[in-house]
Chain A
Amino acid sequence: QKEVEQNSGPLSVPEGAIASLNCTYSDRGSQSFFWYRQYSGKSPELIMSIYSNGDKEDGRFTAQLNKASQYVSLLIRDSQPSDSATYLCAVFSGGYNKLIFGAGTRLAVHP
């Protein structure tokens, strides 16, 4: 089992819709979770961090965490073509040392 798992996609949504990206992790002791966005040919950039169970909202983005189910998700409301990118879920492993990334989900928002 991989430490961090994501569906590779592509996830295709129409402009204006809600995009839902999911991630599961294997380390029950993990406490910190991050979503990164990576445009083609660019480096990953942090868009959300979440540390507690529940929802965290930032603009059009909402991160959801359920530690009991070892599940993290990212919702993007009012999706725009500019949101088309690969979204990487990342989880700290071994305490606050190694940040392990999932393989990423490719999102395509079409007009």
Chain B
Amino acid sequence: DAGVIQSPRHEVTEMGQEVTLRCKPISGHDYLFWYRQTMMRGLELLIYFNNNVPIDDSGMPEDRFSAKMPNASFSTLKIQPSEPRDSAVYFCASRRQGDSPLHFGNGTRLTVT
């Protein structure tokens, strides 16, 4: 069973550029989460989806951030325009219904210069 797949693994971009992070959840998982991790703030929940529908985006820091889940096997997190303070590791995670735990992807390390 393939785990959560994220791409790219590393992204280096210049301030002002658009960045798109991609995620394929585990098949059969109903929930998909986007987290951001930094040394200062730890692991922060940005947004989560249930059955492809965004449920809570209160963690999205600004309008520059947007996320979509067009189908059960694909989600994107977009930052436009990117800023140096967006530099972090972005994790996608998925889980089944109920109280099942999260399974994380390998993350995307984003560096904005």
Which residues of A are interface residues toward B (Cβ below 8 A)? Answer: 31-32, 34, 42-46, 49, 51, 88, 90, 92, 96-104
Contact = CB atoms under 8 A, between A and B. Distances in A.
Given A43-B91, A44-B43, A104-B42, A34 B101 contact: yes
Interface of B is mostly: strand
A31 B43 CA distance: 21
Interface string B8-50: 0000000000000000000000010101000000110100101
Interface in B71-110: 91, 95, 97-99, 101-107
Interface residue range, chain B: 20 to 34
Contacts of B48: 97-98
B101 A96 contact: no
